[in-house]
């Protein structure tokens, strides 16, 4: 059986990009990291890469739009570790047929909502019993500056032209999935926060981002390791708060 002192973290969409960066940084801190991925070969390969650095990393099959994989992942974590200390809801998509409200493909908007919001809600619900069994669990939601209602309404904002109704709305909905669970869990040791990683060079933006994966992973990792007196139900970017 796993020693109680060693934390267990699940990072969704951890086979590449910011998710793999978060998994790497958490594992380097001595945490047992479960790399959620929808593709077995890609997930196994990413976990093997971390194990090659003598880190404690394991692949868990988890596809946000396939409920049976979420249920199976929760059952396997329960059987192997009995609890979960950290859940990083990182997996997400930016659908190519998304666009401004006047022209966005409706199926594309649906796909964004199904993965980024509903899928994340399903994973959170499935993992909550395991998170409740940990001493002081942390949930970190990978949101985006593009989620901000305040920024979306500011024509002078640097990203004002990034009007993707599906992506931006799904991440705004994800922010609700921070505020509401933080309220529901206010009398437990569990903290729930949203974070914008910044504009990070990954496949999602054809590597046009200006931050490295290590830089983008730093904020989510900090929130995954918040001390007992840390905040809950807040939206962060960098070291500070981000406007909702």
Q: Name the site residues for ligand NAP (rule: CB under 6 A).
A: 12-13, 15-19, 38-39, 42, 62-65, 90-93, 115, 119, 142, 144, 196-197, 199-200, 202-205, 209
Write down the least CB distance from residue 157 to ligand NAP, Å.
15
Please identify, using beta-carbon distances, which residue of 119 and 166 lies nearer to ligand NAP. 119
Residue of 59, 81, 117, 167 with catalytic role: 167
Is 183 a residue of the active site? no
Please identify, using beta-carbon distances, which residue of 51 and 61 lies nearer to ligand NAP. 61
Write down the least CB distance from residue 206 to ligand NAP, Å.
10
What is d(CA 189, CA 139) in angstroms, rounded to the nearest whole number? 11
Please identify, using beta-carbon distances, which residue of 17 and 166 lies nearer to ligand NAP. 17
Please identify, using beta-carbon distances, which residue of 13 and 181 lies nearer to ligand NAP. 13
What is the SS3 assignment for the chain?
CCCCCCCEEEECCCCCHHHHHHHHHHHHCCCEEEEEECCHHHHHHHHHHHHCCCCCEEEEECCCCCHHHHHHHHHHHHHHHCCCCEEEECCCCCCCCCCCCCCCCHHHHHHHHHHHHHHHHHHHHHHHHHHHCCCCCEEEEECCHHHCHHHHCCCCCCCCCCCCHHHHHHHHHHHHHHHHHHHHCCCCCCEEEEEECCCECCHHHCCCCCECHHHHHHHHHHHHCCCCCCCCCCEEECCEECCC
Write down the least CB distance from residue 161 to ligand NAP, Å.
15
Please identify, using beta-carbon distances, which residue of 15 and 175 lies nearer to ligand NAP. 15
Write down the least CB distance from residue 92 to ligand NAP, Å.
2
Write down the least CB distance from residue 54 to ligand NAP, Å.
23
Residues known to be catalytic:
167
């Amino acid at each position: 059986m796993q020693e109680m002192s060693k934390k267990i973290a699940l990072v969704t969409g951890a086979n590449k990009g910011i998710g793999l960066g978060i998994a790497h940084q958490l594992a380097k801190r001595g945490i047992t990291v479960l790399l959620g991925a929808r593709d077995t070969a890609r997930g196994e390969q990413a976990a093997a890469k971390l194990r090659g650095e003598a880190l404690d990393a394991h692949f868990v099959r988890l596809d946000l739009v396939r409920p049976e994989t979420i249920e199976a992942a929760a059952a396997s974590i329960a059987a192997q570790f009995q609890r979960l200390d950290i859940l990083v809801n990182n997996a997400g998509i930016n659908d190519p047929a998304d666009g401004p409200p006047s022209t966005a493909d409706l199926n594309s908007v649906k796909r964004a909502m199904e993965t980024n919001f509903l899928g994340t809600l399903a994973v959170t619900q499935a993992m909550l019993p395991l998170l409740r069994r940990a001493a002081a669990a942390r949930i970190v939601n990978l949101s985006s500056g593009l989620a901000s209602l305040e920024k979306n309404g500011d024509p002078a904002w640097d990203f004002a032209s990034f009007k993707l109704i599906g992506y931006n709305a799904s991440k705004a909905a994800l922010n609700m999935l921070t505020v509401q669970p933080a309220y529901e869990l206010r009398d437990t040791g569990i903290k729930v926060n949203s974070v914008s990683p910044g504009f990070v060079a990954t496949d999602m933006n054809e590597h046009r981002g200006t931050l490295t994966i290590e830089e983008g992973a730093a904020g989510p990792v900090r929130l995954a390791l918040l001390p007992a007196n840390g905040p809950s139900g807040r939206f962060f970017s960098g070291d500070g708060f981000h406007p909702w």
